[in-house]
Amino acid sequence: MDKTINIKSEALKNGLIWGVINIVIFLVTWYVAPSLMSSYWYAAFSLIIGLVLAVFFCLDMRKKLGGYWTFGEALWPIFVMFVFAMGLMFVFNILFGKFIDTTYPEQMKEMVMTKTEATMKSFGLSDEEAAKALDKTRENLDQQFTPTFSQAVMAFGISAIMYFIGALIFALIFKRSNPNPFAGQNDPNFGTN
């Protein structure tokens, strides 16, 4: 493991880049084609971009550490990167709706409610069942787009737990053991105190 690389700084830098890319995608979509924001295509596109960036940044950090890292060495930098990127987007979304474009929360709620109602009709739900489901959806959207402080903290905590699980999976996938664990023996100071 290359000790000259500050992996914490690398994780934060990669998380910042990832978060900024997410914000740019969000802004371009919101101002060019806002109706896409509630579509499955946008969700799929965001997921694919996120996975590609996660893979790229994990490989980049491992390479900077000499090409090898254990599960434990990989877990925390990956988690820090994931949470930092998610946290930037999370905070940006809240600030965007409160200060930059105050129409954003209501427009998003309206788009999601319209899509949800159409989906429920296609499933053939009764009017009573659809009304209950729409009320629950409306409540969830209020918490998502105009959260109270405690709701925002709880949502961030739940997201952080989900990202930790993702970091566990990525650390398992991207760990790589050094095939020559005795490589340091060539060092004249190897084994001396």
pTM of the model: 0.84
Using pLDDT thresholds of 50, 70 and 90, give the confidence band for residue 116.
confident
DSSP states along 19-83? HHHHHHHHHHHHHH-GGGGGSHHHHHHHHHHHHHHHHHHHHHHHHHTTS-B-HHHHHHHHHHHHH
Taking only the tens place, the pLDDT of each residue in 153-190 is: 999 999 999 999 999 999 999 999 888 766 655 555 54
| pLDDT: which is higher, 134 or 90 | 90
Specify the pLDDT at position 86.
97
Taking only the tens place, the pLDDT of each residue in 24-42 is: 999 999 999 999 998 889 9
Using pLDDT thresholds of 50, 70 and 90, give the confidence band for residue 152.
very high
Average pLDDT estimate for 12-27: 97
Whether the pLDDT of residue 12 is over 60: the answer is yes
